[in-house]
């Protein structure tokens, strides 16, 4: 880590991290989008990635999900070196990603969206009853209140759509869930519902990584904030040290607040 980085360490977390990324660098042509980035993800921990547009946070999320392949660096899962060359590699490790566009099919109902591409069959036919049962159980476990699992996705509110996308990710019993701007374009009540869902994932001992611009909403639910600026990780701030002033100063590179410390 470079000298200008400011890091607050939690000395209580000495166990092996669920996911560890070291010295990750990514280039797009002559542009270096990520520069020597380190980060750890632990079970039951919510990590929020913040930074201006183009800072590198979404690029880093896509490295974990297998969309972007880094030119340099090492990835370990449960302490063992792994290679993530595509999204299937990421999924097989136990990593699920919910992107901002959600990729729900509006013409399909909730059950069909949850099981798209992994339908449950019996004697060569779709087992609709079992899929409905599992879908309802998944929604109930996450505390998602939707009138019917047979409602079309196109008729759902923004918060409900986000909830269904998270439920779909959880069907695979993942160890890590990546959320790209889960609170974007949602009303206050819907943001609160999604925030509650994220806390539910933490309670299930899932490692959660969230990319967000909505600082006020994500601070109360996160365990640490990782700040990106111009492709570099410039700060990792643990929950007890998080303040809006501190994070904004790190995002912008302002020395005023940091010098006061």
Residues 44-96 pLDDT 10s: 999 999 999 999 999 999 999 999 999 999 999 999 999 999 999 999 999 99
SS3 71: coil
Kindly indicate the confidence band of residue 246, based on its pLDDT and cuts at 50, 70 and 90.
Answer: very high
Indicate the helix (H) or strand (E) that contains 178.
strand 176-180
Say if strands 95-98 and 176-180 run parallel, antiparallel, or are unpaired.
Answer: parallel
Maximum distance among all alpha carbons in the chain?
Answer: 69
Say if strands 125-126 and 224-229 run parallel, antiparallel, or are unpaired.
Answer: unpaired
Spell out the domain ranges in the chain: 6-94+174-260, 105-173
Contacts of 45 (CB under 8 A, 6+ apart): 202, 207, 208, 223, 224
Indicate the helix (H) or strand (E) that contains 40.
strand 31-41
Q: Tens digit of pLDDT for each residue in 130-160? A: 999 999 998 888 888 888 999 999 988 888 8
The structural architecture, per CATH, of the domain 6-94+174-260 is 3-Layer(aba) Sandwich (3.40)
Angle, vertex CA 49, rays to CA 47 and CA 50, nearest 5: 140
């Amino acid at each position: 880590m470079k000298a200008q980085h400011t890091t607050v360490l939690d000395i209580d977390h000495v166990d092996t991290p669920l996911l560890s990324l070291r010295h990750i660098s990514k280039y797009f042509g002559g542009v270096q989008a990520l520069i020597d980035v380190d980060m750890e993800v632990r079970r039951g921990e919510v990590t929020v990635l913040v930074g201006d547009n183009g800072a590198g946070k979404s690029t880093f999320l896509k490295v974990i999900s297998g969309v972007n392949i880094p030119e340099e660096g090492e990835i370990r899962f449960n302490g063992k070196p792994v290679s993530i060359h595509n999204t299937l590699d990421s999924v097989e490790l136990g990593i699920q990603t919910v992107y901002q566009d959600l990729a729900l099919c509006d013409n399909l109902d909730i059950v069909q969206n949850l099981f798209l591409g992994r339908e449950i069959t019996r004697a060569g036919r779709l087992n609709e009853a079992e899929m409905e049962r599992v879908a309802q159980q998944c929604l109930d476990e996450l505390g998602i209140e939707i009138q019917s699992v047979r409602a079309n996705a196109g008729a759902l509110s923004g918060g409900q759509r986000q909830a269904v996308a998270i439920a779909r990710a959880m069907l695979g019993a993942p160890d890590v869930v990546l959320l790209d701007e889960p609170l974007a374009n949602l009303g206050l009540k819907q943001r609160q519902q999604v925030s509650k869902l994220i806390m539910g994932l933490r309670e299930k001992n899932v490692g959660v990584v969230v990319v967000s611009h909505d600082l006020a909403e994500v601070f109360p639910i996160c365990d640490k904030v990782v700040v990106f600026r111009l492709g570099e990780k410039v700060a990792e701030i643990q929950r007890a040290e998080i303040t809006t002033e501190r994070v904004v100063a790190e995002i912008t590179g302002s020395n005023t607040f940091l010098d006061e410390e």
